[in-house]
Amino acid sequence: MFELKTIFLFFITAIAEIIGCYLPYLWLKQNKSILLLIPAAVSLGAFVWLLTLHPSAAGRVYAAYGGVYIGSSILWLWIIEGTTPTIWDLVGSAVALSGMAIIMFSPKSA
């Protein structure tokens, strides 16, 4: 159960970060409203707060989170941006997620 909670928390954290970065991208690259910076800032604040909820050492959390961020970003590319991932996108995501699992769920010495 710990593993599922950790993965879910990482996924929610990644979504908060992606939204916080994607909204300014829309403003800067697609000439959308500058008001998008308000929910972007809120989302990035949520991202930072969510990182503090993980029960492991900060460095380990950041390292493992990177793998989930990669996988979540590829899902974002596919679902939100409508771009089909390549086989290499999927392989890279699988490798990154495998790294996350090794970092977070391997036995730790006391």
How far is it, in rounded angstroms, from Cα 38 to Cα 23? 9
Between 60 and 94, the more confident residue is 94
Whether the pLDDT of residue 103 is over 70: the answer is: yes
CA 87 to chain centroid, in Å, comes to 20
Confidence of residue 110 (pLDDT cuts 50, 70, 90): low
How far is it, in rounded angstroms, from Cα 75 to Cα 83? 9
Which residues have CB under 8 Å from 20's CB, separation 6+? Answer: 40, 41, 43, 44, 46, 47
As a whole number, the mean pLDDT across the chain is: 92
- Write b or e for each residue in 64-85: b if 16 or more Cβ atoms lie within 10 A of its Cβ, otherwise e: bbbbbbbbbbbbbeeeeeeeee
Most confident option among 52-56, 79-83, 104-108: 79-83
Which helix (H) or strand (E) segment is 55 a member of? none
Whether the pLDDT of residue 63 is over 90: the answer is: no
According to the model, what pLDDT value does residue 58 have? 80
Confidence of residue 55 (pLDDT cuts 50, 70, 90): confident
**Mean pLDDT value of segment 51-58:** 81
Count of CA atoms in the C-beta half-sphere (13 A) of 50: 20
